[in-house]
Structure 1
Amino acid sequence: MADLELLRADHAPAVLDFEIVNRAWFARSIGDRGDDYFDHFADHHAELLADQGAGHRACYLLVEDGVVLGRFNLLLLGDGVAELGYRVAASSAGRGVAT
């Protein structure tokens, strides 16, 4: 069974693996993050955690047996408003994990 987990520092290897494994899938549907993202992944992950700690974001992973099936991020805009961004692994597409 998959669990929704608040993003943590120790998720970094699983998130990077998720992004690498699904890079071509994402590039076809929502655009490629570019090499800079992968070259500086640790910095990007730390920035998300810092934003989350400051109350600017809420970042979640859908994880099953240590494998990330999806990422779900809320950019907290204030006044109870948030912008949702998400990515779902190719292997999980069409299974309702984002509903």
Structure 2
Amino acid sequence: MDSFKVRELQDTDAQALLEFEVRNRQWFESHIEPRAPEFYSLQGVAEHIASCLGGLASGNWHPMVILDNDQRIIGRANLKSIDTAAGCAEVGYRIDQQAAGQGLATFALKRLIHEARNRWQLGQLVAFVYEQNLGSQKVLARCGFLPAPDDADHSTANERRFVLSLLADDVTA
């Protein structure tokens, strides 16, 4: 993974992020909920970035991008709904279709675990994955996430909820 770099999202990423999202739109929408059509414009992505960075400044969002050797965005990784009082957050990631299967999702998730533990001092991470997204479920399992019991307050009919305790001694990160 030396050829990849993870860094925080920046306001100057709008064009590169738009290209990443457009290039992978169909791929992503086969695995996750589609974005609103207005997102897919330079203005839409710039507004999205501003929102993410506002969330970072207020401490409830940690947006990151994954770059290849050419500094092209090939993935995203986010801590969402950070609740430092409760000690938990939700993880999310998306990897370029052309880079899938190279371990980037695992790489990104391990970085999120590191940030959650060391920067945010969180004790638990949660992920929601569509039932048919077996690849993402494998990534979560590889990083120590466990399926949570069915809970009407936290899952939908099409999603599974996974949880990782960062307090455990055997956490992978």
User: Does TM-score exceed 0.5, indicating one fold?
Assistant: yes
Residue 73 of structure 2 corresponds to 68
Aligned to 2:83: 77
Stretch of structure 1 that moved more, 84-93 or 73-82: 73-82
Is contact 2:11-2:46 (8 Å) kept?
no
Query: Which residue of the other structure, out of 37, 41, 58, is the alignment partner of 2:45?
Result: 41
- In the alignment, structure 1 segments of 5+ residues that lack a partner are none
How high is the TM-score relative to the length of structure 2? Answer: 0.54
The root-mean-square deviation of aligned C-alpha atoms, in Å, is: 1.2
Judging by fraction of residues, say which structure has more strand.
Answer: 1
TM-score of the two chains, using structure 1 as the length reference: 0.91
Structure 1 SS opposite 2:64: strand
> How many residue pairs are counted as aligned between the two chains?
99
Q: Does the Cα contact within 8 Å between 1:70 and 1:89 map onto a contact in 2?
A: yes
Range with greater deviation from structure 2 (15-24 or 73-82):
73-82
Runs ≥4 in structure 1, deviation > 3 angstroms?
Answer: none
CA contact (8 A) 1:22 1:90 kept: yes
Residue 56 of structure 1 corresponds to 60
1:4 aligned onto 2:6: yes
Structure 1 residue aligned with 2:28: 26
Letter of the 2:73 partner, please give it. Answer: V
Aligned to 1:15: 17
Identity level (%)? 33
Contact map agreement 1:14 1:66 (CA 8 A) in 2: no
